[in-house]
Amino acid sequence: MAMSDQPEEEAKARRRSPLIPIAVGVAVLAVVVLAVVMTPAKQSSPDSAGDGPPPDPGVAQIGSVAPSFKLKTIDDSVFDMASHRGKVVLINFWGTWCPPCEKEMPHLVEVYHRYNKSTVFVAIAVNDVPDAVRRFVAEKRMDFPVGLDEGQIAGRYLVSGFPTTVIVGTDGVVKEKFARAFPDAASIESALQRAGATANSA
């Protein structure tokens, strides 16, 4: 009986054998699909080249072109940032209500008189009172352009504290930004020299 059943079992096995590769293939495909679904998408690195939008050219960042602006000064003239390309520009954001600004200003005035041939200075009083600014300017003998800003220019230069000083190179690019008061004239001179400014000749 056992001998007669063996050919029949082999025949059944031969009939089933074509289905085995198909079943294996389906199983492998299912595993691959599942692996793809379960694998999290690769997050792009913010530092990767070409990833993300370029820096907004209308916002000042170190290494980016300084945003242009026109500022009405307290003597009713207009300071046009775009017209000073080719010179180092020092932009000081300050306020009469700011004690560190008051302490720093004499140093700025001193350096201005030594560097005003190679460097343009402009002082921007933010959210201030015109009469208070005029009195301050007279007291400190600030003879470089001074204007008032309601926050628009300060916002484009990402000012978050006062005083803040931005140094722009002769190429119009922001070189350095200082969100603090300079302790002395020498530190201001060093910053200007790093940007390419030179002291007035005797």
pLDDT score for 30 = 53
Q: Classify residue 93: in a domain, yes or no.
A: yes
Instruction: State CA 32 to chain mean position distance.
Output: 44
Q: What range does the domain containing 122 cover?
A: 70-194
Total structural domains within the chain: 2
Same domain flag for 97 and 186: yes
Calculate the alpha carbon distances from 147 to 30, 131, 186 in Å.
70, 12, 25
pLDDT tens, position by position, 19-76: 555 554 545 455 444 443 343 333 332 233 334 434 445 677 899 999 999 999 999 9
Same domain flag for 139 and 94: yes
